[in-house]
Amino acid sequence: MPDQPNIVDGHGPDEASPPGPELSRLVDALRRATDLVVRPGAPPARLVDAAESVEAAVATLEASTDPWRVSVPAHPSSTLAPHQYFPFSPMIGLYSPLAPPIRCELDGETVVGRGVMGAAYEGPPGCVHGGIIAGLFDEILGVANIASGAGAMTGTLTIVYRSPTPLYTELRLEGRTLAIDGRKVRTAGTLHAGDRLCAEADGVFILVEHERFATHTQAHGGEPAR
């Protein structure tokens, strides 16, 4: 049997111990490969060589990976940095090759995400897909709520696209919890490329009792966060 990775509370790796650095290296390579695959240029013979290499890597992983099961790949804790809340998130997860490489940090009461998105996230020519922007806002605003102690589920999310969001450009997303009214949490965010405002978001999130969420998780075969 292969060595079992060091999983934190059943939820994922960290950056200082296995499988954190190793998984981070693999994720970075997959992101680079994805970016190159969606850009034209490689001749057919090179594509065949690359496909064979990827197929061999997949076979290696399949031989040592447990069957999929429902889980809660999240660790929202005030002791962690915001980018560590959702390590496998398809939006900001450090260990998900699907996620744009957005790194989040807390600046006062505002969560700030910074990163560069490449060809894999293209919508209009040369620009980030609007659906990717919406997904990032959903996550950044949710992270802002957790950081403020009001973790909640998305109720409504309104996006206003102010100007095109360029690829291969340093972007800055911000999210901040504005108010809590009963079970409703109001949160807002912005997306900038340099000094240019690209998009704004306004969200209403709904507080869910921990016991109710834990019951839902267990009913679907997973183990809730502790």
Mean pLDDT of 115-130: 97
For the chain, give every domain's residue range: 10-226
Question: Is residue 6 predicted with pLDDT exceeding 60?
Answer: no
Question: Is residue 5 predicted with pLDDT exceeding 50?
Answer: no
Q: Which residue has the higher pLDDT, 217 or 67?
A: 67
Digit-coded pLDDT (tens) for 171-211 = 999 999 999 999 999 999 999 999 999 999 999 999 987 66
Q: How many CA atoms lie within 13 A of 53 on its CB side?
A: 9
What's residue 127's pLDDT? 98
24-41 burial code (b ≥16 CB/10 A, e <16): eeebeeebebbbeeeeee
Q: Which class is domain 10-226?
A: alpha beta
What's residue 212's pLDDT? 63
